[in-house]
Amino acid sequence: MAGKVGNGDGATASVRNPSHYFSNHRRKIKRARVSSEDLDSISSLPDEILQVILSFIPTKAAIRTSVLSRRWRHIWCNIPSLSFFQEGCTNARESIEKILSRYTARKMMSFELRFNWNYYYPYVYSWIEFSMNRNVENLSLTLCIEDIPDIFYINSSVKQLYVKSGYTILDPKCSVSWTSLKILSLHTCNIYDEPFAKILSGSPNLETLRLYFCDELCVLDLSKSPHLKTLEIESEHWLQGAKIVAPHIHSLRLRFTISDFPYTLVDVSSLTEAELDIDSVSTEKLNSSFLQTIVLKILEKVQNVEKLTLGGNFLKALSHADLHGFPFPKFKAKVLTLDTTISRCVISGIVRVLQNSPELKKLTLRTMDCDAIKEENLDSHLDLYCWNPYLCLEARTLEKMVVRLGPYRNTRGFKELLQMVPMLSHDNNVSIVLSATKSRIRETKWSNGHFIYYN
Q: Is residue 209 a part of any domain in this protein? A: no
Q: Provide the CB-side half-sphere exposure for 352 (13 A, CA).
A: 25
Q: Is residue 357 a part of any domain in this protein? A: yes
Q: Is residue 1 a part of any domain in this protein? A: no
Q: Is the pLDDT of residue 63 over 90?
A: no
Q: Is residue 426 a part of any domain in this protein? A: yes
pLDDT of residue 252: 96
For residues 238 and 218, the answer to whether their CB atoms sit within 8 Å is no
Burial of 31 per CB tally in 10 Å (0-12, 13-18, 19+): exposed
pLDDT tier, 71 (very low <50, low <70, confident <90, very high otherwise): confident
Strands 219-221 and 362-366, by their bridges, are unpaired
For residue 120, give Cα distances in angstroms to 92, 130, 273: 10, 15, 43
Task: Provide the number of structural domains found in the chain.
Answer: 1
User: Which amino acid, residue 190?
Assistant: N
Q: Is the pLDDT of residue 265 over 70?
A: yes
Q: Provide the CB-side half-sphere exposure for 387 (13 A, CA).
A: 24
d(CA 245, CA 265): 7
Q: Is residue 85 a part of any domain in this protein? A: no
Please state the φ and ψ torsions of residue 274, each to the nearest 5 degrees.
-145, 145
Summarised one tens digit per residue, pLDDT across range 317-338 is 898 888 888 899 999 999 999 9
Instruction: Find all residues with CB under 8 Å of 408, minimum gap 6, and list them.
Output: 341, 367, 414
pLDDT of residue 31: 53
d(CA 147, CA 172): 9
198: left (phi over 0), alpha (psi -120 to 50) or beta: alpha
pLDDT tier, 344 (very low <50, low <70, confident <90, very high otherwise): confident
Mean pLDDT, residues 306-314: 93
Percent of the chain with pLDDT over 90: 32
pLDDT of residue 382: 46
For residues 71 and 47, the answer to whether their CB atoms sit within 8 Å is no
CA angle 56, 164, 298 (to 5 degrees): 110
pLDDT of residue 402: 75
Q: Is residue 122 a part of any domain in this protein? A: no
Which among 176, 103, 163 is positioned nearest to 133, based on CA atoms?
Answer: 103
Mean pLDDT, residues 390-396: 50
Q: Is residue 361 a part of any domain in this protein? A: yes
450: left (phi over 0), alpha (psi -120 to 50) or beta: beta
Strands 243-245 and 264-267, by their bridges, are parallel
Summarised one tens digit per residue, pLDDT across range 154-201 is 999 999 999 998 777 889 999 999 999 999 999 998 889 999 999 999
Q: Is residue 332 a part of any domain in this protein? A: yes
Which residues constitute the domain of residue 302?
279-455
pLDDT tier, 10 (very low <50, low <70, confident <90, very high otherwise): very low
